[in-house]
Each structure stands twice: as C-alpha cells, then as structure tokens.
Amino acid sequence: MWAADEILKDKCSAEVAIVASYDARPESANSIILKRGSNGKTPWTPAFTVRLSSGGHIRWWCRSTTGNMIDVGTWRIEDVFVGTKCDLASEGTPTCRPDAAFKIGSSAWNGWTPERSRCANKSTSIRARLDNDRRLSIQCLGK
C-alpha cells in the first residue's frame, strides 16, 4: 500500500469533483465525482491523471454551497477601501472620521466551490477517497 503524501480535511457536505485539468469545471469530461455513502466514505478511486496549474496545483471542487450559501469557504473579498471621510460644517470646519468598505463575491459555480491542493512532488498521478469527518484524502502517486 502507498503512503499518502497529502491528506486534506474538506468542508464539503456531500460531493467532491476532481477535474482532469486545473482550469476545468466539475461537469467537464473525465472529472472524477466522489459521493459520500451513508457511512460518509467512498473507496479509493483507481489511479488517474490530472493536468496541474502552472504552480503545480490540482483543482478540486466541493459541493458545499447547495442549500448553504453562507458557507464561509465560498466567499471571497474582491475589493477593500480604507480611507477618511470628511464633512464640512456650515461654519467651514471639517469633521473627519475613518471610513472603510469592502466588496464580497462568490467563487461558487452552480453550487460547487473551487479548491486546490498540491502534492509535494507535483504529482500528476493521484487517487482519492472520502473518509469520515468530511475528509478528502488525495494520494500522490508520482508523475
């Protein structure tokens, strides 16, 4: 048996999709979809090949937003503004105070949230399974 190089603890409520190419979406051809059984687990998949990002990352997607749009892993800060806001009183005296704002966006696509992982050896051959405690195990098998 191989020793896993990397074990991730996901926040997925039910399904994980590991896509064949980093830029792909879960519905893409050759995506591996893992659905938890009643015991919360799946068996190991057979070994399969993925195409990594330029930084060596594997793309995987969590189905964490279905019926749960407040899942914190879904939201991304898109813009932050920090400054000062001043008002001019009728006698010409300015009154200033700190002012801040931010814009939040969602990274979800059709209920799927993109995640990524990287094997230490930048492996393109992996296998995966879902375990108890909502864990996703990815085993890095080499290039």
Please give the tally of structural domains in the chain. 1
Residue 82 included in any domain: no
Token output for 9:
């603890």
Query: Global pTM?
Result: 0.69
Residue 120 included in any domain: yes
Residue 84 included in any domain: no
Tens-digit pLDDT profile for residues 58-103: 999 988 655 555 555 555 566 788 888 888 888 888 888 898 887 7
Domain that holds residue 65: 6-72+108-142
Q: How far apart are the C-alpha atoms of 141 and 45, rounded to whole Å?
A: 12
Task: Identify each DSSP E strand in 1-143 by its residue range.
Answer: 6-9, 15-18, 32-35, 48-49, 58-62, 75-88, 94-106, 113-117, 125-131, 135-142
